[in-house]
Amino acid sequence: MTRTITYQKAINEAIQQEMAADPTVVLFGEDVAGGEGSATGEDDAWGGVLGVTKGLKKQFPDRILDTPLSESAIMGTAAGAAASGLKPIAELMFIDFLGVCFDQIYNQAAKFRYMFGGKAETPMVIRTMYGAGMNAAAQHSQALYPIFTHIPGLKVVLPSNPYDAKGLLIEAIRDRDPVIFCEHKMLYTMKGEVPQEPYTVPFGVANVVQSGDDVTVVALGQMVGFAQKAIAKLDGVSVELIDPRTTSPFDEEAVLRSVEKTGRLVVVDESSPRCGMAADIASLVATKGFDFLKAPIVNVTPPHTPVPFAAPLERYYLPSPDRIAAAINQLAATKERL
Amino acid sequence: MTGTASGTIPAAELLQAYRTMRTIRDFEERVYKEFQTGQMPGFVHLYAGEEAVATGVCDVLTPADYIASTHRGHGHAIAKGCDVVAMMAELYGKATGTCKGKGGSMHIADLSTGMLGANGIVGGGPPLVCGVGLSAKVRGTDQVGVSFTGDGGSNQGTFLESLNFAAAMNLPVVFVVENNGYAESTASSFHQSGIDVAKRADGFGLPGVVVDGQDYFAVREAAAEAVGRARAGGGPSLIECKTIRYFGHFIGDQQKYRAPNEVADAREHRDPLKNFRARVTRAGVATDEQLDAIDAEVAELIDRAVAQAQAAPFPAPESALEDVYVSY
């Protein structure tokens, strides 16, 4: 049965269903229930800082665990637990907190299998919230998924809608490698049709959101919706919109196939322009699809600055539907190179 | 046996403990020698001098328990039951190595024996054994996780976080600090202000003790108590073992920061193997002949490990592409 639910509810449901099905799935982190240790207050007071895991503590009191505010210990605990029989979901409340615990993720969890000659499995999921748009300023708004994408041994997932959020999270929990599951904070209230029953969306398979002939637009996470708004503003340009859904593994074929058809590529990404996903995808097409290109690739990204606080500054920072539309129009009008 | 609870240790276990310590010592002395020939690649940190710590702790663990080790990890790996021949091959970077030549000295791991890895990151291990503890607790097993950390590592945030984390979550974990007096070349009298690391346990509400890390029996007794407490649901403990590193931080370290006769003096008066031999022979639990026989067997094992490692093939170059992911 399919219902219309939010991205946030889709994530909650995926966790609930996998925990019900598999007693080795545990979820822990800062305030994932909230209220732990309070003598008089309510258990499950928060359910995560934005309430994404609300209600799960009651059903799984021994497997939904509040922890001390210690991100390194949380991430190391996930890695050690994954290597010794659990399927942990560790919550890194904001992706920006990566800086205090990166070692446990990229030197420990990501490398166990390789360093140990293929003898280890580290089936863990790090759920983390990212992205700008909530005036959360420079230390709570970043889109740092390219840093994880850079690390061999990690898989990186960025659902752009409720259906993908549930299916990709179930896939992540069942996967046997460490997965970084990046939830955009501005998408939690997004509604969409989601089947009630458990299902998976495979990694490394892009979603062709809409087909078109003139310009390929590749967008990730929140930028998928922004690109759709931009496309609605266009007049007479046929756009193929591709949502890769996962940055590692990455569906190179889907992008190259589309650019072969359109010859024109706009990449829209919320991460920083230097060594970000836009640069990476542009590099892919430049090295493996150069002969398809009729015009130079256009990247639409934030400027190379921290994320600013005030609303007009943050709006200026984020790629807007207007900027994306202008980029598409400009590229569509560029004369075919000889 | 004299002193402590060692009187309850069966003779066969004592002989095995001696064999383990002798294996570590000979392995390390031999690696030192072979490294000089230039055939052994990489950075190598030797454990000689600290044998009683790894052995005393691992002797109270079961194969199902896990340990997380350090960059100075050969001793822990041997004490936890890793195959010595495969370990030597790993140091040479050979296909027959513990990690198929992908890890080397600093990453020897064998999850089938509960060895969660030597670790190139100082302070990398303590959070990992919190995970072992959580896993045991959620799955309802009586497994215990033990991390080894040096005095240098005891100043890492990960170590201190893990003490608090394990205490708050009541995890079956034991934190062993091997205080060999130096964080690389920096004396612990400076970097710890001369205060025992074990005292830090007080601040996190868990038991902390200092033991003589050159004394197998003292280490084993403290470990038995801490591991028993963890297994019974009593939460984490900290054991600080005062020990001595016979070699430099790494092979090649000139050790100009040490007193000229510091190591020679320790080898003469505070050697864990000599100490052990004197205790068990004096108590009549083992004879010099028995221990000499073990020495000969271990020498033969190490010879064989080196010969097999040298003769083994290197991994196929394209195997560099394997085992990044389970699936991708």
Mean pLDDT of B232-257: 96
The whole-angstrom separation of Cα A169 and Cα A242 is: 20
A135 and A265 fall within a common domain: no
A68 contacts B124? CB cut-off 8 A: no
ipTM score? 0.94
Confidence (pLDDT) at B8: 84
DSSP for residue B312: S
Q: Please, which residues have CB within 8 angstroms of residue B178's CB and are 6 or more apart in sequence?
A: B50, B53, B70, B72, B148, B149, B150, B151, B213, B241, B243
- A69 interface with B at CB cutoff 8 Å: no
Cα dihedral angle (B187, B189, B195, B200), rounded to 10 degrees?
A: -10
User: What distance, in Å, lies between the first and last C-alpha atoms of chain B?
Assistant: 57
The verdict on residue A76 lying in a domain is yes
Residue A277 lies in a domain: yes
CA B126, B131, B136, B138 dihedral sign is positive
Tell me phi and psi for residue A141, to 5 degrees.
-140, 5
The number of beta carbons lying within 10 Å of the beta carbon of residue B82 is 23
Helix (H, G, I), strand (E, B) or coil at B314: coil
* pLDDT attached to residue A45: 86
> Please, which pLDDT band fits residue B7 given cuts at 50, 70 and 90?
low
Q: How many CA atoms lie within 13 A of B21 on its CB side?
A: 28
Q: For residue B279, give how far its alpha carbon lies from the nearest alpha carbon of chain A (Å).
A: 38
Question: Domain check: are A177 and A315 in the same one?
Answer: no
Residues A214 and A160 in one domain: no
Residue A27 corresponds to which tokens in the numbers above?
């979820």
Is residue A301 over pLDDT 70?
A: yes
Average pLDDT over residues B117-132: 97
> Mind telling me how many Å the CA of B48 is from chain A's nearest CA?
24
Do residues A18 and A127 both lie within one domain? yes
C-alpha distance from residue B92 to each of A87, A111, B87, B131, B322 (Å)? 34, 20, 9, 31, 19
Question: CA-to-CA distance for A114 and A94, rounded, in angstroms?
Answer: 28
The encoded tokens of residue A214 equal 């003139």
Tokens standing for residue B183: 């964080």
Residue of A nearest to B109 (CA): A116
B130 to A118: CB separation less than 8 angstroms, yes or no? no
CATH of the domain at A283: 3.40.50.920
CA–CA dist A301, B68 (Å, integer): 42
Both structure tokens of A91: 């919550």
Place A338 in a pLDDT band, splitting at 50, 70 and 90.
low
What is the rounded average pLDDT of the residues A127-151?
97
What ranges make up the beta strands (E) of B27-113? 66-68
- Angle subtended at Cα B234 by Cα B229 and Cα B238, rounded to the nearest 5 degrees: 65
What residues make up the domain containing A277? 207-333
Strands B182-183 and B186-187, by their bridges, are: antiparallel
For the whole model, what pTM was predicted? 0.95
Per-residue pLDDT at B274 exceeds 70 = yes
Listed by number, the residues of chain B in 166-205 with a beta carbon closer than 8 Å to a beta carbon of chain A are 168-169
Domain boundary among A131, A166, A195: A195
Domain positions in chain B: 6-314
Optimal mutation site among A27, A104, A105, A116, interface B, most CBs of chain B within 10 A = A116
Count of other CB atoms within 10 angstroms of residue A114: 21
For A19-46, write each residue's pLDDT tens digit.
Answer: 999 999 999 999 999 888 887 777 788 9
Residues of A with catalytic annotation?
140
CB interface of A with B, residues 207-236, below 8 Å: none
Tell me the β-bridge partners of A89.
A27, A125
The tens digit of pLDDT for each residue in B157-169 reads 999 999 999 999 9
Give ∠ CA A105-A72-B127 in degrees, rounded to 5.
90
Select from A107, A113, A119 the Cβ nearest to the Cβ of B325: A113
Could you read off the pLDDT of A193-228 as tens digits, one per residue? Answer: 999 999 999 999 999 999 999 999 999 999 999 999
- Residue type at A233 in one-letter notation: K
The answer to whether residues A19 and A165 belong to one domain is yes
| pLDDT in the model for residue A36 | 87
Residue found under tokens 């598999």: A22
SS3 A93: strand
- Looking at beta carbons, which residues of chain A come within 8 Å of B323? 113-114, 117-118
pLDDT band at A123; cut points 50, 70, 90: very high
Question: Looking at the domain assignment, is residue A201 inside a domain?
Answer: no
Cα dihedral B178, B184, B185, B190 sign: negative
**How far does A228 lie from chain B, in Å, by closest CA?**
30
Let me know if residue A73 belongs to a domain.
yes
Residues A7 and A124 in one domain: yes
The count of residues in chain A is 338
Task: Please check whether residues A28 and A87 belong to one and the same domain.
Answer: yes
Q: What is the pLDDT of residues A252-268, one digit of tens each?
A: 999 999 999 999 999 99
Share of chain B above pLDDT 70, in %: 98
Sheet holding A125-130, edge to edge: A64-66, A25-29, A87-94, A125-130, A179-184, A155-157, A246-248
The pLDDT tens digits of the residues spanning B191-205 come to 998 899 999 999 999
**Listed residue (A51, A53, A59, A54) closest to A23, CA to CA:** A59
- Which CATH number fits the domain that encloses residue A15? 3.40.50.970
Do residue A181 and residue A236 come from a single domain? no
Q: How is residue B23 written in tokens?
A: 């294996």
Residue A123 sits in the same domain as residue A248: no
Q: Are B47 and B118 in contact (CB under 8 A)?
A: no
- Residue (of B256, B205, B270) closest to B234 by Cα position: B205
Q: Is the pLDDT of residue A244 over 90?
A: yes
Q: Which chain B residues contact residue A62 at CB under 8 A?
A: 138
Q: Does A205 touch chain B (CB under 8 A)?
A: no
Name the residue with tokens 């030197």.
Answer: A107
Residue A303 lies in a domain: yes
What architecture (CATH level 2) is domain B6-314? 3-Layer(aba) Sandwich (3.40)
* A158 contacts A184 by C-beta, under 8 angstroms: yes
| A68:B168 CB<8 A | yes
The CA distance from A99 to the nearest CA of chain B, in Å, is 13
A79 in contact with chain B, both atoms CB, cutoff 8 A:
yes
**Does position B6 have pLDDT exceeding 60, yes or no?**
no
The strand ranges marked E within A30-80 are: 64-66
Rounded Cα distance between A41 and A29, Å, is 19
Pair of tokens at residue A316: 């200026």
Contact between B122 and B191 under an 8 Å Cβ cutoff? The reply is: no
Instruction: Give which of A66, A84, A121 to mutate to test B binding, by max B Cβ within 10 Å.
Output: A84
8 Å CB contact of B98 and A114: no
pLDDT of A96 over the 50 cut: yes
Residue, of A40 and B295, whose pLDDT is higher: B295
Confidence of residue B5 (pLDDT cuts 50, 70, 90): very low
What is the Rg, in whole angstroms, of the alpha carbon atoms belonging to chain A?
A: 20
Backbone angles phi, psi at B62, to 5 degrees: -100, 165
> Which of A62, A65, A116 has the CB atom closest to B109's CB atom?
A116
Q: How far apart are the first and last CA of chain A?
A: 53
Which of A165, A195, A225 marks a domain boundary? A195
In the prediction, which pLDDT does B4 show? 47
DSSP state string for A287-334: HHSGGG-SS--EEE---SSPPP-SHHHHHHHSPPHHHHHHHHHHHHHS
- Flag if A76 and B131 touch (Cβ within 8 Å): yes
Instruction: Decide if A338 is inside a domain.
Output: no
% residues pLDDT > 90 (chain B): 96
B66 touches chain A (CB under 8 A): yes
Distances (CA, A) of A221 to A31, A335, B90, B292: 25, 31, 43, 68
- To 10 degrees, what angle do helices A222-232 and A321-333 make? 60
> Which residues of chain B does A65 touch, with a Cβ-Cβ cutoff of 8 Å?
134, 169
The predicted model gives A87-103 an average pLDDT of: 96
Residue written as token pair 């004197």 = B278
Q: What is the CA radius of gyration of chain B?
A: 19
Domain membership flag for residue A268: yes
pLDDT at res. A337 = 67
Dihedral sign for Cα A94, A98, A101, A107, please.
positive
| Lowest mean pLDDT, pick from A34-48, A310-324, B139-153 | A34-48
A24, A78, A177 member nearest B131 (Cβ): A78
Q: How many contacts, defined by CB atoms under 8 Å, are there between A and B?
A: 166
B132 touches chain A (CB under 8 A): yes
- Name the token pair of B44: 């190598």
**Do A230 and A266 touch, CB atoms closer than 8 A?**
no
The SS3 of residue A125 is strand
- Whose structure tokens read 């959620």? B138
Residue B131: which of A81, A121, A177 has the nearest Cβ? Answer: A81
Domain count, chain A: 2
The residue-averaged pLDDT of B270-276 equals 98
Any residues with CB less than 8 A from the CB of B102 and at least 6 apart, and which? A114, A115, A116, A117, A118, B315, B323
Compute the distance between CA of residue B235 and CA of residue A64 in angstroms, rounded to an integer: 20
The mean predicted confidence, pLDDT, of chain A is: 96
**Rounded Cα gap, residues B24 and B22, in angstroms:** 5
Which has the higher per-residue pLDDT, A327 or B4? A327
Average pLDDT over residues A58-80: 97
Average pLDDT over residues B21-43: 96
Tell whether A234 and A173 lie within a shared domain.
no
Q: Which chain B residues contact residue A66 at CB under 8 A?
A: none
- Give the Cβ contact number of residue A311 at 10 Å: 10
Per-residue pLDDT at B282: 96
- Closest Cα partner for A27 from A64, A69, A81, A72? A64
- Whether the CB of A32 is below 8 Å from some CB of chain B: the reply is no
Kindly state whether A81 is in contact with chain B, defined as any CB-CB distance less than 8 angstroms: yes
Residues A189 and A266 in one domain: no
In whole angstroms, give the CA distance from residue B132 to residue B128.
Answer: 7
Domain identity same for A183 and A41? yes
DSSP classification of residue A40: S
Does the distance separating the beta carbons of B116 and A107 come in below 8 Å?
A: no
Asked if B92 and B312 touch (Cβ cutoff 8 Å), the reply is yes
Integer Cα distance of B242 and B181 in angstroms: 8
Residues A117, B124: C-beta atoms closer than 8 Å: no
